[in-house]
Amino acid sequence: MTKHINELNVPPNNRESLCQLGWDRHFECGLTSMRPTRGTIARVVSVRRNLFLVSDGQDEHLCSPAGKLLHSSTRGYPVTGDWVLTDESVVIGVIPRKNILSRGEAGSRGTRQEAATRGQIIAANLDTVFIVCGLDRDFNLRRLERYLTLVYNCGLSPVAVLTKADLHDDPEAARREVETIAFGVPVVLTSMTDGRGREELEEHLGFGRTIAMLGSSGAGKSTLANMLYGDDIQATSAVSTAVGKGRHTTTTRELIRMPQGGLLLDNPGIREIAFHEAGSGMENAFADIAEQALMCRFGDCSHQNEPGCAVLRAVESGEISRERLESYRRMRREMDYVSARSHKSADRVEKERWKDIAMLQKEMKRRKR
């Protein structure tokens, strides 16, 4: 027998509160598929070591994970944004996710490392990701391309937020520049000095929506959270003048319930954007190159020096910038490496599985004797 949400240990009026936190039919179906016999539905608003701060829309309280979750893979362990079932301050299960925002572990960029196979889940169940980039020394189109690829890889929709518009001579020109590499992505200019961009961003913060902010330290994420909230709820601190980088002021992730009705996740600044799986993100992030590539003479053209390469032609004509093609190639190499490595580790898993089976068979034979 599957239990309906109201037959669970959920007070009937809670339904409304859960929807305020983003509960919807998707999770309802996920919950039904778990066939729970007990538990209260709650959302993880923050994770502190091995403790979860969960909310049912009315109250927040701390929970510890059930033993089985501690031993589950990283994928099964609750993260910020997860919907969970709790029982007497213990998280007993994770309700199937809509999506996750994940990246390769820090220190895993490039080709050297092992850490990269393990992804790090930043958050679950998002509607939109604000890619936050300051119009100071933080501004970098190539980095934006990486963020876009990451967000698309996770099947999420990005909004590019260019903060500190007051520090730039021609912020509109910067916006246009971003538009040439981010097709169909809303690009919003903001500034804490005059509150510009606020209304445009508020459109994404409607009832029950969940938005995560990504960007380097000092990009102005927490400042933006404060501007949108209308009060100083997050600590901020000045960028170092010597290196032009932030000071990693925000250290925990927390879902903030916004007056607009949505939930905003302020994240610690990201030092480097590493990939841990090769999704289809590049197709979207480099839609212009992907489109030209359809017209290359060879189907497997690598756009290096092949004859009849439409991408190189587009670079010659100035339609696609050389830097962008370089950026594309670099990322392509990274993705190829990441996918080769994940195949390799899949092979290893398979081998180990067979080893286990062989051992088990031996053991059974021995027992029979």
Ligand X SMILES: Nc1nc2c(ncn2[C@@H]2O[C@H](COP(=O)(O)OP(=O)(O)OP(=O)(O)O)[C@@H](O)[C@H]2O)c(=O)[nH]1
Nearest-approach distance from CB 237 to ligand X, in angstroms: 5
- Between the CA of residue 176 and those of 33, 140, 141, 170, 172, what are the distances in Å? 46, 13, 11, 10, 6
Q: 117, 200, 268, 283: which one contacts ligand X (CB under 6 A)? A: 268
Q: Per CB under 5 A, does 154 bind Zn ion? A: no
Nearest-approach distance from CB 168 to ligand X, in angstroms: 10
* Among 45-53, 248-256, 339-347, 360-368, the segment contacting ligand X (CB under 6 A): 248-256
Q: Per CB under 5 A, does 149 bind Mg ion? A: no
284, HSE (Cβ side, Cα atoms, 13 Å):
19
Q: 72, 249, 321, 339: which one contacts ligand X (CB under 6 A)? A: 249
**Dihedral, CA atoms, 107, 109, 115, 116, nearest 10 degrees?**
150
Q: Per CB under 6 A, does 168 bind ligand X? A: no
Q: Are 129 and 161 in contact (CB under 8 A)?
A: no
Q: Per CB under 6 A, does 248 bind ligand X? A: yes
Q: Which of 47, 58, 69, 70 is nearest to 10 (CA)?
A: 58
Q: Per CB under 6 A, does 164 bind ligand X? A: yes
Q: 215, 262, 279, 281: which one contacts ligand X (CB under 6 A)? A: 215
Q: Are 85 and 95 in contact (CB under 8 A)?
A: yes
Across the strands, what pairs with 60? 55
**Distance in Å from the first CA to the final CA of the chain:** 44
- List % helix, strand, coil for the chain (3-state, nearest 5): 35, 20, 45
* Among 61-69, 148-156, 191-199, 361-369, the segment contacting ligand X (CB under 6 A): 191-199
Q: Are 80 and 53 in contact (CB under 8 A)?
A: no
Q: Per CB under 5 A, does 108 bind Mg ion? A: no
Residue number with the shortest CB distance to ligand X?
Answer: 269
Please tell me the distance from the alpha carbon of residue 295 to that of residue 167, in angstroms, as a whole number: 42
Query: In the numeric block, which tokens belong to residue 255?
Result: 């879902």
Nearest-approach distance from CB 165 to ligand X, in angstroms: 7
* Among 71-79, 133-141, 307-315, 338-346, the segment contacting Zn ion (CB under 5 A): 307-315
Q: 97, 143, 221, 303: which one contacts Zn ion (CB under 5 A)? A: 303
Please tell me the distance from the alpha carbon of residue 53 to that of residue 62, in angstroms, as a whole number: 5
Please tell me the distance from the alpha carbon of residue 107 to that of residue 100, in angstroms, as a whole number: 21
Q: Per CB under 6 A, does 218 bind ligand X? A: yes
In the bound state with ligand X, the residue whose beta carbon lies nearer, of 108 and 226, is 226
Binding mask 223-242 for ligand X (x = CB under 6 A): x------------xxxx---
Q: Per CB under 5 A, does 311 bind Zn ion? A: yes
Binding mask 222-251 for Mg ion (x = CB under 5 A): x--------------------------xx-
Q: Which of 278, 255, 294 is nearest to 338 (CA)?
A: 278
Q: Per CB under 6 A, does 171 bind ligand X? A: no
Q: Which of 22, 57, 20 is nearest to 40 (CA)?
A: 57
Applying CB under 5 A, the site for Mg ion has a residue count of 4
Q: Per CB under 6 A, does 222 bind ligand X? A: yes
Please tell me the distance from the alpha carbon of residue 277 to that of residue 279, in angstroms, as a whole number: 6
Q: Which of 227, 267, 265 is nearest to 21 (CA)?
A: 265
In the bound state with ligand X, the residue whose beta carbon lies nearer, of 128 and 250, is 250
Q: Per CB under 6 A, does 46 bind ligand X? A: no
In the bound state with ligand X, the residue whose beta carbon lies nearer, of 36 and 158, is 158
Contact residues for ligand X, defined by CB under 6 A: 163-164, 166-167, 191-193, 215, 217-223, 236-239, 246-250, 268-269
Contact residues for Zn ion, defined by CB under 5 A: 296, 301, 303, 309, 311
Contact residues for Mg ion, defined by CB under 5 A: 221-222, 249-250
